[in-house]
Structure 1
Amino acid sequence: MKPLAQQRILVTGASSGLGRALSVRLADAGATVVATARRQAPLDELADRHPGIETRILDLMDAAGLAKLCHTIGPLTGAVLNAGVTHVGPFNAGSDADDAAMVETNVMANVRLARALYTPLVDGRLVIVGSMAGQVALPYQAVYSGTKAFLQNFSLALREEWRDQVSVGLFTPGGIKTEMTDIEALSKLQNMLAGADEVADELMAFYLSDRALRIPGFVNRVSATATRLLPRPTITRIMERVYHREP
Structure 2
Amino acid sequence: MANTARPLAVVTGASSGIGLELARIAVGEGYDLIIAADEPDIERAAEKLRLEGATVDAMTIDLSDFAGVEKFCTFIADKGKPVDILLANAGRGLGKGFLDQDLTEALHVVDTNITGTIALIHKIGNAMRLRGEGRILITGSIAGFIPGTYQAVYNGTKAFLNSFSFALREELEDTGVTVSCPMPGATDTRFFERAHMLDTAIGQSKKDDPADVARAGFDAMMGNEGDVVSGWKNKLQSAIANITPSGMLAGQHAKTAAPGSAKE
Please report the TM-score for the alignment, with normalisation by the length of structure 2.
0.85
Percent identity between the aligned chains? Answer: 28
Q: Provide the residue aligned with 2:214 in structure 1.
A: 200
Alignment check: 8 A CA contact 1:38 1:59 kept? yes
Provide Cα deviations, 1:132-179, integer angstroms capped at 9, x if missing partner.
111112210001111111111111111111112220111111111212
Task: Tell me which residue corresponds to 1:110.
Answer: 117
Residue 180 of structure 2 corresponds to 169
1:142-157 alignment to 2 at 5 Å?
142-157=152-167
Query: What SS does the aligned partner of 1:101 have?
Result: helix
| AA in 1 matched with 2:251 | R
Letter in 2 for 1:140: Y
Q: For residues 74 and 45 of structure 2, what CA distance do their matches in structure 1 show?
A: 24
Hey, what does 1:186 align to over in structure 2? 198
How far did residue 13 of structure 1 move? 0.3
Counting matched residue pairs gives 242
Deviation at residue 7 of structure 1 after TM alignment: 2.5
The partner residue of 1:218 within 232, 250, 253 is: 232
Q: How does 1:1-247 map to 2 (within 5 A)?
A: 6-40=6-40, 42-51=41-50, 52=54, 53-74=56-77, 75-122=82-129, 123-165=133-175, 166-182=177-193, 185-187=197-199, 188-189=201-202, 190-244=204-258, 245=261, 246-247=263-264
Deviation of 1:22 after TM superposition, in Å, equals 1.4
| Unpaired stretches in structure 2, ≥5 consecutive residues | none
- Per-residue deviation, residues 199-238 of structure 1 (Å, max 9, x unmatched): 1221221221201111111111111111222222222222
The RMSD of aligned alpha carbons is 1.8
Contact 1:78 1:121 in 2 (8 A): no
Give the CA deviation at 1:72.
4.2
Deviation at 1:6, TM superposition (A): 4.1
Q: Residues 167 and 210 of structure 1 are in contact (CA less than 8 Å); yes or no, is this contact kept in structure 2?
A: yes
Q: What amino acid sits opposite 1:235 in the alignment?
A: L
In 1, distance between residues paired with 2:71 and 2:216? 31
Q: Tell me the distance in 2 between the aligned counterparts of 1:34 and 1:207.
A: 18
Greater alpha carbon shift after TM alignment, 31-40 vs 76-85:
31-40
Q: Deviations over 1:9-57 (max 9, x none)?
A: 11000111111111112113321121111223x2222222222122122
Q: Deviation digits for residues 92-121 of structure 1, max 9, x if unmatched?
A: 211220121011101100110111112332
Q: Is 1:77–1:120's contact at 8 Å kept on the other side of the alignment? A: no
Work out whether residues 202 and 216 of structure 1, in 8 Å CA contact, stay in contact via their aligned partners in 2: yes
Is the contact made by 2:43 and 2:59 (CA closer than 8 Å) also made in structure 1?
no
Q: CA deviation at 1:240?
A: 1.5
Instruction: Name the SS for the 1:230 alignment partner.
Output: coil
TM-score by length of 1: 0.91
